[in-house]
A and B are shown apart, each in its own frame.
Chain A
């Protein structure tokens, strides 16, 4: 019973807390900020408490029936707990960063409330083992991200927020159609029941494709990718939270949850996912090379890296799935670091155009080094964590995929090195074109340094996350040890 309580705390503390935050904000701003961080940290804390359970290999299942055939059901297996730890860890660092970043803007009550609500909904989505519940949390994340992207109220920002909302909701509705088709086939929304039913009669392919559309729209994969770079108009902590660490990983997570754990997926669909993800990885990496807006480049980079994660999951053997899970963690840490560094640069120089920047390593040494370390991790340079995730994904794929597909992803990895160095050189090295602004905000600098440090530690002590990810992969694939 203790563990069930933990799950409830993880999900509902942030959600209920989020509703209280605007009220608290009337009285004390710093108390509101602290509470917001506390709620997210509590999600992290309770997720960590679940780790021993995850490693033991026995999932925690909680079901409460509700009228009309619905039920409130949560499952905490290794995959869910891994994901919960990753998301809440990165989110807490981002909220800490926000204390400095957001402090001089309007609508702070809304901001903290929405961020906390978002995290709670994300946690709910991770643990829910019922398609309708999953859909509800999915849409809450959609609505909160719409408000967060539209944090600044100029016309341009509001339009881009609408765009991202429309695209993701469009995908989500297609996904809902897919869920209904599954209900028609199996008579249940419950994942374990669907899994059982799927063994005798396969899930209709159309339903799988509809669900894939929803997943791709949330994870900004070709052809639903363009809302993600556009959402760069949001404040930097928001872009870090949505683009890097958490929101885009929802799609990937649901892919893992449904397509690997629950459904039996025909092979051609796996190959289709691999090819779409490859196209997405190459196209967005190429676009990142021509883009001149700092945050948009990093956003394109996210799209490209998400392709690698899909690749790992779609390959679907133990190596590749472990790699993909590690990829979620390592990419989340590093990419959040990149976005937050971009936030420091943007806020102090008042520009995002990399052709206007340069030479900032002299005045922003910690930001520059953190950016470089995070970039190394994304490129997959050891001893940073990204190296291992990239290696495992490739090692798994070579066993299951034709060699030319591996080469396509290899090309994507080449491009990653080139576009990240282009950004780093233009922003931090060479001649300073803009006035050389100093880095400000101790918590902001601390946050990016912490993320860079975690990327490094994650690589050096890879044993622990890798053991966790491996346990999750074994459990997901139903392998017996």
Chain B
């Protein structure tokens, strides 16, 4: 096979994206181009899967080569990304039909796919960074074409990701300096002080791309402002795949991260904090998409926790959770999209009783909600159990936090499902019909995938996930029913508790939507929630405050320096010249004295040879 085929998954979607921009006035043209490009991209991904290819071309010198490496892990990510890309494109044909900026939407979608393929294939850190940072543009564009104020969210997303990408840039130069090479597959650093610093900087880039705390705050805003297929594709699926892929690369290959390292504890801590805080925010949301977006953040915590444990079972669990999450979360967003399209709103207060009118959407929702809550036999159950197993091995506290996150996840999905699909239909929802077939097909495909990946979990585990670790597994296999019966029992108890909690909440407040209100308005929590809703804890806002302080100080310095030029030096010169003017007072003896002194000076300079 010609090695140049590796350029195809990058160039083809990119050029198709450019075509979409150029021909943005013709709707059929752009739709056709993007569907074909997404399909061909998927086909290429299939062809590439299972192959090992290396490509290297010297480029800028300094070790910066155009080098690509197709191997099991990268082929797997590309295949998954291409699959989601195709399904979401299909969905968008129907969802986006009447919307503005259609050409731009497809263009950014395809360019994102191209750049993700490039970043995953890259075997040189600079090439990786090139594609990785290049995603900023399509991210900005995709959010900005949403509603009227979407550009503010787009800016927020750009700034957060831009800042973390710059951190990653420093991480890369530091890594290259320490390792003496930029080739990813040749780097294997022990975690000394410098390498730990480099690891943290690279980790910031990776977990920020995955949408973990504290780099998450643009995602809930984008959920309300950006077009919905964007949410289903980028933050729910592609960015998770890419971010977790890179996190796995740095902790498995590039650095020798062991479970004794403090960095492992740091990663796990970031993981559990993300799980808990984000799910607590998800509990109180009153918007379908916004609620889902907080879960998109919270679930990253499980992946980071799993990989952070640095023991095989955790890593396998984290990676398995990555692909599972991408599936159920993008399907959940798609159900949100069909609700939005058919009912005209995603505000849970205005929804209700949609289950009878939209049965297929309901079924897909139930399957995927059960997956995310960790119900047997869906895929989320198996990956979560693996992560729990590893978390318990590393520390009871991590396990307890993870399991608590599970409880709240289940609780909030009971609330969401109840409020949207059951209960009384509001008067506006009387005429709602099921979504068109083109939107249902992607949802059904992904939901079916959730079942297959759960029931036949040895299929993905043996063929997709376990080969990533290869020899590090020492022949262990993680497929089938989890071994630790106690953990399963606890998980079941937690789920039952969530259901009981829901029933209790409904009985107390009389509606599914308000089932969790007792948490929202609990004594201390309500104050915290009030502040959180005013974005008091938003790391972005806090960061901007710091920046504003710096800039106020800078402004003072700048104006101070200017004062020296504008006022101080002018006044000094005036004052001096006034003094000199006073000397010119017409006094003969003064003039004579000055002349004699000057003459003496001239003499000294020129004739005395001084």
Contacts and interface: CB of A to CB of B under 8 A. Distances in A.
Interface of A: 163, 167, 222-223, 225-227, 282-290, 318-319, 322, 376, 379-383, 387-388, 390-392, 394-395, 398-399, 403, 406-407, 410, 413-415, 417-418, 421, 425, 429-430, 462-463, 466-467, 470
B175 to A, nearest CB: 10
B162 A398 contact: no
Contact of B130 (A383, A390, A410): A383
B561 A410 contact: no
A382 B134 CA distance: 5
Given A282-B550, A418-B544, A470-B61, 12 more contacts: A283-B558, A381-B137, A382-B134, A398-B170, A403-B174, A415-B547, A418-B159, A421-B159, A463-B59, A466-B61, A467-B60, A467-B61
B561 A381 contact: no
Contacts of B552: 286, 290
B83 to A, nearest CB: 26
A394 B169 contact: yes
A467 B553 CA distance: 41
B197 interface: yes
Nearest to B132: A382
A223 B61 CA distance: 37
Contacts of A414: 162-163, 166, 547
7 contacts: A222-B561, A282-B554, A290-B552, A387-B133, A394-B173, A417-B163, A467-B60
A425 B134 contact: no
A425 B152 contact: yes
Contacts of B152: 425
Using C-beta atoms within 8 Å of the partner chain, give the interface range for chain B: 35 or more
Interface of B: 59-62, 126, 129-131, 133-134, 136-137, 144, 151-152, 155, 158-159, 162-163, 166-167, 169-170, 173-174, 176-177, 197, 544, 547-548, 550-555, 557-558, 561-562, 564-566
Nearest to B167: A410
A282 B136 CA distance: 24
Which of B155, B173, B177 is packed against the most chain A CB atoms within 10 Å? B173
A223 B557 CA distance: 10
A398 B137 contact: no
Given A226-B565, A381-B133, A383-B130, A398 B177 contact: yes
B176 A287 contact: no
Contacts of A462: 60
Contacts of A406: 170
Given A283-B558, A398-B170, A406-B170, A289 B565 contact: no
A225 B561 contact: yes
Nearest to A318: B62
B327 to A, nearest CB: 30
Given A287-B551, A398-B174, A425-B155, A226 B558 contact: yes
Contact of B166 (A282, A290, A399, A410): A410
A380 B59 CA distance: 19
Contact of B151 (A289, A398, A429, A466): A429
Nearest to B155: A421
Interface centre among B59, B61, B159 (most CB of A within 10 A): B61
Contact of A286 (B134, B158, B159, B551): B551
Nearest to A393: B173
Given A388-B60, A394-B169, A382 B554 contact: no
B62 A392 contact: yes
Contacts of A407: 170
B277 to A, nearest CB: 24
B151 A399 contact: no
Contact of B565 (A227, A284, A288): A227
